[in-house]
Amino acid sequence: MNPTINPSILSANFCNIEKDIKILEKNSITSIHIDVMDGNFVPNIAFGIDQIRAIREITEMKFDIHLMINDPDKFIERFVDAGADNITVHAEACPHLYRTIELIKKYGVSVGIALNPATSIESLRYLYKLIDKVLIMTVEPGFGGQNFIEEMKNKLKDLVTIKEKYNYNFSIQVDGGINKDNVEEIVKLGVTDVVIGSSIFKNNEIEKNLKEIYSALKMEG
């Protein structure tokens, strides 16, 4: 089965984001990754609730909301109301992670847990049955355009082994430093959902860049 390609619109043209989204739709993209950053958990600020609500008015694509914020629980309902289809929170930002998972599920959207590069997958040992997605950060969160951390390949292999051994249903997502040159190798490790930002939107050549990624994966665009 082909992986989901989730363009990270953090790298889109903010002055003409509707045009970029329509190009994505034209090229078989069905989901977009939206980074929410608070300037606290990560050293950057991006995408508030009102911006997400405005984007929801121009597209029916799925919204994969990635909360890089502290204390996400108090914002969950508002992100759901803004149009979220999936909400991913960081394990490192949730002191009561089980409670946060249950809160997200209460609103009827899927739930993902993100792990920073230095965070062990062991931290999710007792939660795998409850979650829909595990996001392995392959760069430090907060900025686009970073290089893929090679050691994360071993982390992905370990996660795939656990998923297959116990027949868990969660999808495996990666975010950070993915491009046409390494995407095939990453997917072959067992990744089912790929977040790509800079490599899709670079030089305002979205269609060309997507075709190169599809070609690398031997997918129809």
3-class SS of residue 143: coil
pLDDT at 144 over 90: no
Catalytic residue flag (residue 35):
yes
Mean pLDDT value across residues 34-62: 96
Distance CA 149, CA 115 (A): 13
Single-letter residue type at 56? R
Q: Pairing state of beta strands 45-46 and 31-38?
A: antiparallel
Distance CA 197, CA 167 (A): 30
Of 49-53, 120-124, 141-145, 186-190, where does mean pLDDT reach its minimum?
A: 141-145
Distance CA 65, CA 173 (A): 13
pLDDT score recorded for residue 142:
82
pLDDT at 157 over 80: yes
Q: Let me know the angle formed at the C-alpha of 62 by 157 and 13, rounded to the nearest 5 degrees.
A: 95
Mean pLDDT value across residues 150-157: 98
Measured from the Cβ of residue 127, the count of other Cβ atoms closer than 10 Å reads: 16
pLDDT at 42 over 90: yes
pLDDT at 119 over 90: yes
Residue 169: pLDDT band with limits 50, 70, 90 = very high
Measured from the Cβ of residue 144, the count of other Cβ atoms closer than 10 Å reads: 17
Residue 16: pLDDT band with limits 50, 70, 90 = very high
Average pLDDT, the chain: 96
Q: Determine contact, residues 213/29, Cβ cutoff 8 Å.
A: no
Query: Which listed residue (35, 64, 132, 193) is catalytic?
Result: 35
Distance CA 67, CA 86 (A): 10
> Is the whole model's pTM more than 0.75, yes or no?
yes
Residue 147: pLDDT band with limits 50, 70, 90 = very high
Mean pLDDT value across residues 202-206: 96
Q: Determine contact, residues 198/176, Cβ cutoff 8 Å.
A: no
Query: Which listed residue (20, 64, 175, 193) is catalytic?
Result: 175
pLDDT score recorded for residue 219:
87
For residue 85, the Cα-to-chain-centroid distance in whole angstroms is 12
pLDDT score recorded for residue 145:
75
Mean pLDDT value across residues 213-220: 93
